[in-house]
Amino acid sequence: MYPGVYPCHSLHSTKIMCKLWNDDVVTVSRSQVCVLPNFAMTDYVAQGRIRPDNVVELNNCKDHLSYYTCLSQSATAAGTIILQGFDSSKITGGATGYLQQGFRELKILDYVTKLRYEGKLPSITDGHHHNTVICQLQEWKGNSYMPDSLHPAI
């Protein structure tokens, strides 16, 4: 332990004798809780850094992806320390329309990859860009086609 650094669980008290301008002497007592120096980082910088104690401030998170990034950097659930209350609707409120559309497109592309691997993809589906491939599959299967593996929430 370094001089002047106290264990985090202790309370450090100091008494000082002060002589006032009128020659009165008073005792001033000061107590201080140990504060450990630390640092902060954004959710973006925190990615890939797993820590045993993960202190998070969730009120600045913009969406559920930011929440996920902050909370997933803990080695254990017990090691996650949330500083104060937060808006839980950002986690439970559902994904945005853009994100849902992205998941649907990924499922379609996964299905196309499976069909191509199995040799069951018709020759009309020959695009090299994901939008082209999705449009070609929808021409073949119908505009509202979605693979069976698509989760109902999406």
What's the pLDDT at 88?
79
Joined together, the tokens standing for residue 11 give: 């309370």
DSSP bridge pairs for 12: 32
Q: What is the per-residue burial (b if ≥16 Cβ within 10 Å, else e) of 133-146?
A: bbebbeeeeeeeee
DSSP, collapsed to helix, strand or coil, labels residue 21 as coil
What's the pLDDT at 60?
81
Question: What pLDDT tens digit does each residue of the chain (154 aa) get?
Answer: 334 444 555 677 889 898 888 999 999 988 876 666 666 677 666 777 777 888 888 888 877 778 888 888 888 888 888 888 787 777 777 777 888 888 888 988 998 889 889 999 888 777 788 888 888 888 888 888 888 887 777 7
